[in-house]
Amino acid sequence: MFDSFLSVFGLVMLVLAGLLLLLFLLPPLRRNLVTRPIFAAYRKVLPQMSDTEREALEAGTVWWEGELFRGKPDWRQWQNYPTPRLTPAEQSFLDHECMAVCRLVDDWQVTHELYDLSAETWRYLKDKGFFGMIIPQRYGGLGFSAYAHSQVVTRLSTRSAALSVSVMVPNSLGPAELLLHYGTEEQKNHYLPRLAKGIEIPAFALTSPWAGSDAAAIPDFGVVGQGIYQGKAVLGMYVTWDKRYITLAPVCTLLGLAFRLYDPDGLLGDKKDIGITCALVPYDHPGVDTGRRHFPLNAMFMNGPTRGDKVFMPLDFIIGGPAMAGQGWRMLMECLAAGRSISLPSCNTGMAQATARAVGAYARVRSQFKMAIGRFEGVEEALTRIGAYTYMIDAVRTMTAGAVDLGEKPSVASAIAKYHVTERARQVVNDGMDVIGGKGICLGPSNFLGRAYQQTPIGITVEGANILTRSLIIFGQGAIRCHPWLQAEMRAAQEADARQGLLAFDRALFGHIRFAAANKWRTLWLGLTGSHFARVDADVAPEMRRYYQQLNRFAAAFAWLADVSLLVLGGSVKRREKLSARLGDILSQMYLISCTLKRYEAEGRQAEDAPLAHWAIWDAMYKAQEAFDGVIANFPVRFIAAFLHRIIFPWGHPYVVPSDAVGQQAAKRLITPSATRDRLTAECFIEPLESDPVGVIELALAATLEAEPIEARIRAAEKAGRFDGNPQANVRDIASVAFESGVIDAAEYEVMKRRNRLRDIVVRVDDFPFDYGVATASKPAANRLAA
């Protein structure tokens, strides 16, 4: 009887399998029996998408992040992407003009005395074309690549945030870029040469007090109507706006303005709500107010509000002319990805490089308990993160800027770069502050890190606040843009012709099913085998090969997990921001690892750099694993969560925290002069002068290395009792005692004296008169001791 049951059961399963096979092989039958009811239900539940939502989702292009989302990355394609390189003209500009302008800037003077760049610095930036890097040479600009733009901003950021931001903004999302893509020929020919030469200083006003991250909801508006311009009656717009956080607004001469345009009287056509529009307005146009400023955490780049109330301006002020009225949101979304790929990743990478260079040297120069602090394991731990994160975020910056030069506008990759570069740079600076201790918390001319510590939240906040970027954008936009079938399904469901929509939906749906099934079985196979048999179709460094295999495993698991999440949770995934954020974290960590592996290959597989790469990659793999755990642990359908865990991690977790031994090797790269240290901090501005707060650390490091063998002999003599009873045999004066005792000769004593003098400059903390900075009117009250 049992045998008969098995025979019947087997026959039933065979019939079912045959029916399923027929459904797949016979599209007309499949469409009628399966696709049609699903299609009808999908059309009902799919919400209508507004134009602004559609433009935001469809903006930009899909690049390498799409390969990762596919679950089967093509490593040969990744290796074939060219590594960005500078032209001779771009390299010369970096080596000469950038170095020269850095020498003009004293960050303490900028942030504490002038509250602005010096007049000489502004003049140099204009004269040398810093504001026209993205403007083609035919308009008088420098015509630099995106990578060169990134290199310049990175280098300037190692000197001063005010300097780098002042250069970054005119070359980012704003008047110049919008004119290049959408301006009329008349607008281009008039404005671009003036912007390139610094005759015009641009600003772009988008954010309002009532619409920050939700920029599409800006309440600023214009109403089409007749008015007077230059003595003539013309058709124009009465525009009202109230904007804040607008960089360069207080000093701009040309204000880019985003607002929603209305035409209640139908003067332009039948459409009443024309939509978001971008216009260019001279700062001295009647009614324009740009006269006040903010203080963004004492960075002192020019930033402030701008306002206007029913300011009349002709339609010709619209970027692209009247024909581009209502096209502003599309313009902004299409240009945002390119700017976000460069600006903040470059600024924050420069900040991280400066921290790695200066703090690493400081940790060798500064001693406690008769040992350089950089050799303490607790300090080593911080130095490891500083070095490894700097290595990784520079790799991300380079490849993402390089994508722009390849013609991409990587909307998702740029969001990943913005979020993770700024977050890791914040960790780098925080670790640096921990290492230098009291030196870092007392501001003054010799404090080389305090201002960076103050200013790290700026990068976290602007161009899409990091909380929003992580929880809503990376996976929310990535799922639609990067998934090979999801957007096709949505477009099919929104097709006006129901028959054509059904055909397209059927192709997409069953392509999606095959895609999800393949990733599920790949996930299980790679999990069961530990990915040891995963193919890597590229010539990669043997010491890095396992990471490629593990990325294959994680990519397949991520693609399948994303599909299960979308199937089970549907549109509620968008509202489950914590879950969405963790899914985005997995995609992000894979992108970061890919860039780090690419850097290691591009720089010639430098064995001395390997500890930095190993630690950064291992750390990111562990974070990706934690993100998988976070999704599964909080998945609302618990039996599905258990199933997910068994498929993705059949033998448990492959990663633990990065190795302390590898971390120690990474930390050593920061405290010892080497080619590795130079590559890691290649864009740092270094002026080896005793009067320069970073330059003197470099001098002290060289002096420390020269003095270390001599100091070791002094310590040995001390341990042997040669200086017992001598009150001068202390940490400050022991070299003098050693010389007087004959332990070291005169030449060695000179080495020790120079080291001590430079060390003392490095560890010195600035101090001021007790009433320094107190307003004159309050000084008598403050000088209470005079009585």
Task: Kindly list the catalytic residues.
Answer: 463
356 close to 286: Cβ distance less than 8 angstroms? no
Q: Which of 442, 339, 400 is nearest to 64 (CA)?
A: 400
Tell me the C-alpha to C-alpha distance, in Å, between residue 500 and each of 2, 37, 493, 495, 507.
50, 15, 10, 7, 11
Dihedrals phi, psi of 145, to nearest 5 degrees: -70, 165
388 close to 666: Cβ distance less than 8 angstroms? yes
Residue with tokens 């430098």: 606
73 close to 482: Cβ distance less than 8 angstroms? no
Alpha helices in 71-140 (DSSP H): 75-80, 88-95, 97-104, 107-108, 119-127
Residue type, 656: V
Rounded distance between C-alpha atoms, residue 25 and residue 355, angstroms? 61
CA angle, 231 as apex, 228 and 237 as ends, to 5°? 20
Strand 221-229 and strand 254-262: the pairing is parallel
Rounded distance between C-alpha atoms, residue 558 and residue 67, angstroms? 12
Rounded distance between C-alpha atoms, residue 415 and residue 474, angstroms? 6
> Which positions ≥6 away from 88 have C-beta within 8 Å?
none
Rounded distance between C-alpha atoms, residue 59 and residue 329, angstroms? 10
187 close to 225: Cβ distance less than 8 angstroms? no
DSSP letter, residue 209: T
DSSP 545-579: HHHHHHHHHHHHHHHHHHHHHHHHHGGGGTT-HHH
Rounded distance between C-alpha atoms, residue 222 and residue 215, angstroms? 16
Cβ–Cβ contacts within 10 Å for residue 773, how many?
Answer: 7
